[in-house]
Structure 1
Amino acid sequence: MDKVRIDKWLWAARFFKTRSLAKQAVDGGKVHCDGHRVKPSKDITVGLTLRIRQGFDEKTVRVAALSDQRRGAPEAALLYEETPESIAERAEQAARRKAGMSAHLVSDHRPNKKERRQIHKFQRQQGEE
């Protein structure tokens, strides 16, 4: 096998759970091949560089092998190599997101009647200022 469709490869490499999700991601511009936006029918070969955006994360991977069959995760991981820069960038962004979330107070329960009254009182006071 010397080339395979990009949506099929993304599905086989386990970046997306279904092939239709992989197709939607490619159509939506979340996947770039060598810096260019591509169509789901684009044939990829070994050595191409793909930039894949999934949620908050963006991975830059190099195609190491081709497959059009979905196999287990250990075998799927052999289909690509993530660049060291990509790994470092994702770790840095995750740390920034985690640090940003520390400012938010998260309660372990819903407010009870007394706490709700205090919240409403505080909001009224803020509105008067």
Structure 2
Amino acid sequence: MSEKDDGKVRLDKWLWAARFFKTRALAKAAIEGGKVHCKGERCKPSKEPKVGEELVIRAGFDERTVVIRALSAVRRGAPEAQQLYEETAESQARREKAAAMRKAGALGVETDGRPSKKQRRDLQRFRSDAQ
């Protein structure tokens, strides 16, 4: 892309350049899947982000709220990509808390492995009685 792009860049390209997604195709799929919100609403991949806008980006277990600080259509190193946005303090705290809970195993169900034959029979009996 040439340098005379008038500061206009597509949202999917900006997300890729800011290193939220590995490819533009993944960025586009996330936007179309409703994983990226701008001003509380879903947006399109062709949306032109503006400096100062707030985006909510969900990827995996993480949900980040970022404010756009600069626009770029060129993917560069991670230190330069981090200068394109600023994550809010609430978002950082929320992500750290969720990561700590995941690490502690608070969100998942822990089992002792596969159910025994007796436990499977009890489960089948319970399910058939419920219907």
TM-score by length of 2: 0.78
Describe the shift of the 1:68–1:126 C-alpha distance in structure 2 as closer, same or farther (beyond 3 A): closer
1:100 corresponds to which of 97, 103, 106: 106
Tell me what 1:28 maps to.
33
The list of structure 1 runs, each at least 4 consecutive aligned residues, that deviate by more than 3 angstroms after superposition, is 118-129
* RMSD over aligned Cα atoms: 2.4
Match of 2:44 in 1: 39
Structure 2 unaligned segments of length 5 or more: list them. Answer: 1-5, 127-131
Equivalent position of 2:89 in the other structure: 84
- Unaligned runs of at least 5 residues, structure 1: 108-115
Output the TM-score relative to the length of structure 1: 0.79
SS in 2 for 1:44: coil
% same residue: 57
The 1-side partners of 2:22 and 2:85 are apart by 17
Displacement, 1:57? 0.8
Q: Deviation per CA, 1:43-95, whole angstroms, max 9, x where unpaired?
A: 01111100000011100000011100111111111111000000001111122
Matching residue of 1:110: none
The Cα shift of 1:125 comes to 7.3
One-letter amino acid of the structure 2 residue matched with residue 48 of structure 1: E
Any residues of structure 2 matched to 1:1-129 within 5 Å, and which? 1-98=6-103, 99-100=105-106, 104=110, 119-120=116-117, 123=120
Amino acid paired to 2:50:
T
State the one-letter code of the partner of 1:36: E
**Alpha carbons of structure 1 residues 106 and 55: separation in structure 2 relative to 1, 3 Å:** farther
CA pair 124-63 structure 1, distance change in 2 beyond 3 A: same
How far apart are residue 3 of structure 1 and its match? 2.9
